[in-house]
Amino acid sequence: MTKYFSLLGFVFGCFLVGLGIVCMLYPTKTMLTISLFAAFLVFLVGIGYVYYYFHSFRRLYWILIDGIVSIVLGFVLMVTLFFGGDFGENLLCIVLGFWSIFKGVVWILVALNLRYSTGFIPSLSVGIILSVLGLIFVVFPEILAFLLSVVIGLSLIIFGSVVFGFSFRRKI
C-alpha cells in the first residue's frame, strides 16, 4: 500500500510541476481560466458583504455599497467571459484594478471611522496600498496578468516539488 501512495505522490507531484510550467508558459490561457474563477469569487464576496450588512449590529452603508458593486462586477465579468472571448482577460485585469481602487477607498473610509483607535494606521495603510496597486493595474493590465500567471505557476511548481519529495519518504 505504501508503494501505491509513493507512486501516486510521484505522479501527482510531476503533474503539478508540469501544470506550473504550463501556467508560466501560457499566461493568457491561465488568465482566462483565472478570470472565470475570479468572476465567480467576486460575485460570492458581494453576496457575503450584503448578507453581513443585513446581519450586523452596526450598519455601515459602505459595506452594503461594496457588496452591491462586487455583485455587479462579478456578474459583468461572467457575462464578458462567456461572450467576449479574449477580451475577458484584459477586462478582468482592468476591473480588478478598479475594484482594488474601490476597496482602497473603502479601507480609507473605514480608517477615518477608526481615527481614534489603534486600527487607524493599518487600515489607512491597506487603503493607500490597494488604491496605488489598483491604479497601476488599470493603467498596465498586462502586469497583473503576468504576475498572476507567474505566482500561480511558481506555487504549483513548489507544491509539486514538495509532493514529489514526500512521495519517496519512508516510514520508520
pLDDT tens readout for residues 85-134: 666 667 777 878 898 999 999 889 888 888 887 878 888 899 999 999 99
Per-chain mean pLDDT for the chain? 83
Tell me what pLDDT residue 23 has: 82
More confident residue, 2 or 128: 128
Q: What is the band of 2 on the pLDDT scale with cuts at 50, 70, 90?
A: low
Tell me what pLDDT residue 85 has: 62
Is pLDDT of 4 > 70?
no
CA angle 99, 35, 82 (to 5 degrees): 110
Instruction: Cell 475594484: give the residue.
Output: 99
Query: What's the one-letter identity of residue 27?
Result: P
More confident residue, 131 or 28: 131
Tell me what pLDDT residue 43 has: 92
The per-residue b/e assignment along 3-30, b for 16 or more CB within 10 angstroms, e otherwise, is eeeeeebbeebeebbebbeebbeebeeb
The per-residue b/e assignment along 75-106, b for 16 or more CB within 10 angstroms, e otherwise, is eebbebbeeeeeebbbbbbbbbbbbbbbbbbb
pLDDT tens-place string over residues 149-169: 888 889 888 888 888 777 776
pLDDT tens-place string over residues 29-49: 777 777 788 788 889 999 999
Query: What mean pLDDT is predicted for residues 16-36?
Result: 81
Q: What is the band of 172 on the pLDDT scale with cuts at 50, 70, 90?
A: very low
Which grid coordinates are listed for 141? 493590465
Instruction: Cell 484594478: give the residue.
Output: 97
